[in-house]
Amino acid sequence: MMQTPPIPELSELALFLDIDGTLVEHAAHPDGVRVAPDLPDILQELNRALDGAMAFVTGRNLAMVERLFGATGFAAAGTFGIELLLGDEFESGQAAAAEVAPVFSELEASFLHRDGVYFEHKGPVLAIHTRAAPEALPAVIRACRNALSRLPCGYRLVEGHAGVELLPEKALKSAAIAWFMSRPPFRGRKPVFLGDDTSDEAGFEWVNRNNGISVRVGRQKPSSACFGLATVGDVHDWLRRLTQAI
């Protein structure tokens, strides 16, 4: 069992947070997740204490993040880092969406009559959720592997425990964390990243290489993370402990 992460000195900390499975419990449909009533206040308090060196790093697009948490003003990397927001600085790689749309639409049509399989189109990224139909996951993976040859060079398939994503190489949480760490107020701080799924592993690896703290949330499985928290509730408790160190 992984050790619980330490409580770092806040003045040295840059905090990066995945959302689904880390800050909120997974739901069968992405729109079904619920934010705990006290979580926004905890995050606001931490963001102030960190002088803004806190960011969401998520597969959700930024519009979905705002629907969940409101217009917080937090830094955020959406769609696995394709969208990057820090103060007035915004970068987006959504322009490539039209090139891959026909393949994505064909894939969705092939599962049109499969109950519980949900397709989430996020510009150049396609997420396919099978949490409500776990028996469909192997067929979804096979179909996505076949579709890779029809996508632009550099596309990759990330296979999770309750779904998959098709996304371009630059859509990496590690790249998003590096982007933030090259800019104030993140620059020069110790990176800490909390995530729960396969797509978070690149972020864990980057944080480990840069003397940070990597935290895997959820059931125990092979991971590059050095620390672990068992549940979303444990994440909230750990964040509360951070606020007590202010």
- Catalytic site positions: 18
- In sequence order, the β-bridge partners of residue 229 are 217
Tell me the sheet residues that pair with 217.
Answer: 229
